[in-house]
């Protein structure tokens, strides 16, 4: 076994690999960019080496710098994690040429599955069913459009390299094909260095079911059952589960056999995932699944398969890379219970799931148990106080739960998500909770279109209970904390000979401004009125941010996180954010209004689609902004004429930058 390994990655997956290596007595080396110098994975590792500035191309994609770091520190092997260089056959060959071991499949296997068109051709030869579509070499837009017409709409444009939903566009109208193709090619080029795309038939009620496989250097290949990854938005997975609901034994056997044959066809070693698109219009059947692609690495969602098999996949990777055979045969593997994984992201659901940044002022997860030992597991590469940087994937944590059956595991997932508390950055936590309680999902009726169909209900604003603004006002006025020591005079707090003492708090909430009047009733009781609210609260206790209070005879607990400019309140499984208002600035006018297109996040201007003087219609695509490895389309907020274009292609812009200014409507 290896004495020391280097992890060529960052964040959650780097921490995940280090945890297993530490348990096995293997020393670890982390690599980091400048912005990750003080990150969690660096702190966990035994050693760390700087490899470059923040930009991925200048740090985590620099294979030569990573190999040099391994040689410098005496590491014997390199674990690639997922993303970055994990599926780069040239990197694998360079690692081996340097006398190091790559903890993953051989370069030939990665190369065989690296391009989706070539992989599908290989699968046809191996007898594995594939989705109908065009997988040829031509990238001429006219030719691809004609192939799409022949296939029949809707179609899916897919980058032939990479994965993770990048370079993928669903097209339902032939008139939209050209723009969708151009956008997919540009995103594919940015993410994978290869703009080529293929076109496939879009299955109208698809389920995304994948099979976990492992192979060793002795030629043994097994599958470790399936994961259902159908809950997706923008072709990216949101919640995964294992096993798949409604999976008959004969279909599991057929899909497992196809996945093993796919792996054997390329001499696969290590951990891999064979992804299938499955017809979800009715019961699953042995002839209703088709090969999509193979991910020649560890998957983000591997913990759900670990949970139902009781295996540590990273340990298996390490043992296989060290030359050991698989310690089991197919007939030895059994499914135990049910598991779910939910991905918590820094993203703004109300703005179309746009990535968010910012410092994590507060980060609390429900108490889990020791790694790999219990029902709740939190995998995270970030800590309280850390920044969510704009350079990398904005995932904060993965919440993994395991129960004896699907209903029990899903209930545990909902409860765990409700008890997570994150302040300082916008997250998708409430969306995940709503999704975990979705009626269709709870009954196992899942397909990749579920989120899109029910998006309005899943993202509906949470009503603001009267206790929330009342507690926020008390927090803004520093009235939540009890006196340092008991004082009999406290009984007279708020007493006046002619009236009750009062204070005023000005707050902003997404529902609108809140001007609140706080009456001091004495004995830590307050009446808060204003903005349509009238609430009387009695404060009972306040410890470590947890405020116990009584309202109309009902005792409850809220968690309050207050910073210089924001108050975040966690109450009954919901988060309510309030911004402190400076009275001297409350009347400032927002000069941009509906006349400007602002950058919703830090990013790179990938493409401009307008010029000064152009007439635009509401909804027209004006700017393509690349941020956090995805491309986002910014559109005209109204009909009008472009007055100014304030950026150029290739510009790096910050959050809130005015990119395009329209002429005033009365101009």
Question: DSSP code of 492?
Answer: G
Q: What digits encode the pLDDT tens for the residues 386-408?
A: 999 888 989 999 999 999 999 99
> Is the preceding omega at residue 243 within 30 degrees of 0, hence cis?
yes
Q: What is the pLDDT of residue 518?
A: 94
Q: What is the pLDDT of residue 269?
A: 97
Helix (H, G, I), strand (E, B) or coil at 253: helix
Q: Is the pLDDT score of 374 beyond 60?
A: no
Q: What is the pLDDT of residue 483?
A: 65
Q: Is the pLDDT score of 1 beyond 50?
A: yes
- Report how far residue 649's alpha carbon sits from residue 15's, in angstroms, rounded to the nearest whole number: 36
Top pLDDT among 116 and 288 is at 288
Q: What digits encode the pLDDT tens for the residues 256-265?
A: 999 999 999 9
Least confident of 192-201, 296-305, 499-508: 499-508
Q: What is the pLDDT of residue 586?
A: 40
Q: Do 496 and 438 contact (CB within 8 A), yes or no?
A: no
Q: Do 337 and 403 contact (CB within 8 A), yes or no?
A: yes
Q: What is the pLDDT of residue 584?
A: 45
Distance between terminal CA atoms of the chain? Answer: 73
The percentage of residues in the chain with a pLDDT greater than 70, rounded to a whole number, is 93
Q: What is the pLDDT of residue 548?
A: 96
Q: What is the pLDDT of residue 667?
A: 47
pTM above 0.95, yes or no: no
Q: What is the pLDDT of residue 305?
A: 98
Q: What digits encode the pLDDT tens for the residues 448-495?
A: 999 999 999 999 888 899 999 999 999 999 999 876 655 565 555 555
Top pLDDT among 618 and 36 is at 36
Q: What is the pLDDT of residue 140?
A: 94
Q: Do 196 and 138 contact (CB within 8 A), yes or no?
A: no
Distances (CA, A) of 529 to 67, 505, 515, 516, 657: 64, 10, 9, 6, 37
* Catalytic sites, residue numbers: 297
Q: Is the pLDDT score of 270 beyond 70?
A: yes
Burial call 390-415: b when 16+ CB within 10 Å, e when fewer: bbbbbbbbbbbbbbeebeebbebbbe
Q: What digits encode the pLDDT tens for the residues 168-216?
A: 999 999 999 999 999 999 988 888 888 999 999 888 889 999 999 999 9
Least confident of 175-189, 399-413, 541-555, 589-603: 589-603
Q: What is the pLDDT of residue 221?
A: 98
Q: Work out the mean pLDDT of the chain and round it to a whole number.
A: 90
């Amino acid at each position: 076994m290896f004495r020391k390994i280097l992890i060529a990655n960052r964040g959650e997956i780097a921490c995940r690999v280090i945890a297993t290596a530490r348990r096995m007595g293997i020393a670890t080396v982390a690599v980091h960019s400048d912005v990750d110098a003080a990150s969690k994975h660096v702190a966990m590792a035994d050693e760390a080496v700087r490899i470059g500035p923040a930009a991925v191309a200048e740090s985590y994609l620099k294979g030569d710098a990573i190999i040099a770091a391994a040689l410098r520190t005496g590491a014997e092997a390199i674990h690639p994690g997922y993303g970055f260089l994990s599926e780069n056959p040239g990197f694998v060959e360079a690692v081996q040429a340097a006398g190091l071991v790559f903890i993953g499949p051989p370069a030939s296997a990665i190369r065989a599955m690296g391009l989706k068109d070539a992989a599908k051709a290989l699968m046809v030869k191996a007898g594995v069913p594939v989705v109908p579509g065009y997988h040829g070499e031509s990238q001429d837009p006219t030719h691809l459009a004609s192939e799409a017409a022949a296939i029949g709409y809707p179609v899916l444009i897919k980058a032939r390299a990479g994965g993770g939903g990048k370079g993928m566009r669903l097209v339902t109208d032939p008139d939209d094909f050209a723009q969708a193709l151009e956008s997919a090619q540009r995103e594919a080029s940015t993410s994978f260095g290869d703009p080529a795309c293929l076109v496939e038939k879009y299955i109208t009620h698809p389920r995304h079911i994948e099979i976990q496989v492992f192979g060793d250097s002795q030629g043994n290949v097994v599958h470790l059952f399936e994961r259902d990854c159908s809950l997706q938005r923008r072709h990216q997975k949101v919640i995964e589960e294992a096993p798949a609901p409604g999976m008959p034994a004969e279909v599991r056997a057929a899909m497992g056999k196809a996945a093993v044959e796919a792996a054997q066809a390329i001499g696969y070693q290590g951990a891999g995932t064979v992804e299938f698109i499955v017809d979800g219009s009715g019961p699953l059947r042995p002839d209703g699944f088709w090969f999509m692609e193979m991910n020649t690495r560890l998957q983000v969602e591997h913990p759900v398969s670990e949970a139902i098999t009781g295996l540590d996949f990273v340990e298996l990777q390490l043992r296989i890379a060290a030359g050991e055979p698989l310690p089991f045969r197919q007939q030895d593997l059994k499914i135990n219970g049910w598991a779910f994984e939910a991905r918590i992201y820094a993203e703004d659901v109300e703005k179309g799931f746009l990535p968010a940044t910012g410092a994590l002022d507060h980060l609390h997860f429900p108490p889990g148990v020791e790694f790999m030992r219990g029902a709740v597991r939190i995998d995270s590469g970030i800590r309280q106080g850390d920044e969510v940087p704009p350079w990398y994937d904005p995932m904060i944590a993965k919440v993994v739960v395991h129960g004896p059956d699907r209903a029990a595991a899903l209930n545990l997932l909902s409860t765990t998500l409700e008890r997570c508390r994150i302040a300082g950055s916008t997250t998708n936590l409430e969306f995940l909770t709503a999704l975990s309680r979705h009626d269709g999902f709870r009954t196992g009726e899942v397909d990749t279109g579920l989120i899109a169909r029910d998006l309005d209900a899943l993202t509906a604003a949470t009503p603001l209970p009267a206790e929330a603004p009342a507690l926020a006002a008390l927090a803004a006025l520093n009235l939540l904390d009890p006196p340092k020591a008991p004082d009999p005079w406290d009984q007279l707090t708020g007493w006046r000979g002619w009236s009750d003492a009062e204070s005023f708090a000005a707050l902003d909430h997404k529902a609108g401004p809140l001007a609140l009047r706080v009456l001091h009733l004495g004995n830590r009781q307050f009446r808060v009125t204003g903005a349509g609210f009238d609430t009387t609260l009695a404060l009972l206790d306040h410890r470590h941010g947890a405020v116990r209070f009584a309202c109309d005879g009902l005792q409850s607990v809220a968690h309050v996180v207050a910073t210089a400019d924001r108050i975040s309140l966690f109450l009954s499984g919901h988060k309510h954010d309030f911004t402190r208002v400076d009275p001297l600035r409350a009347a400032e006018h927002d000069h941009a209004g509906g006349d400007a297109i602002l950058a919703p996040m830090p990013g790179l201007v990938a493409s401009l689609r307008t010029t000064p003087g152009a007439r635009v219609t509401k909804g027209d695509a004006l700017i393509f902004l690349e941020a956090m490895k995805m491309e986002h389309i910014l559109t005209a907020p109204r009909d009008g004429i472009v007055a100014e274009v304030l950026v150029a292609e290739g510009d790096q812009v910050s959050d809130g930058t005015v990119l395009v200014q329209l002429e005033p409507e009365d101009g």
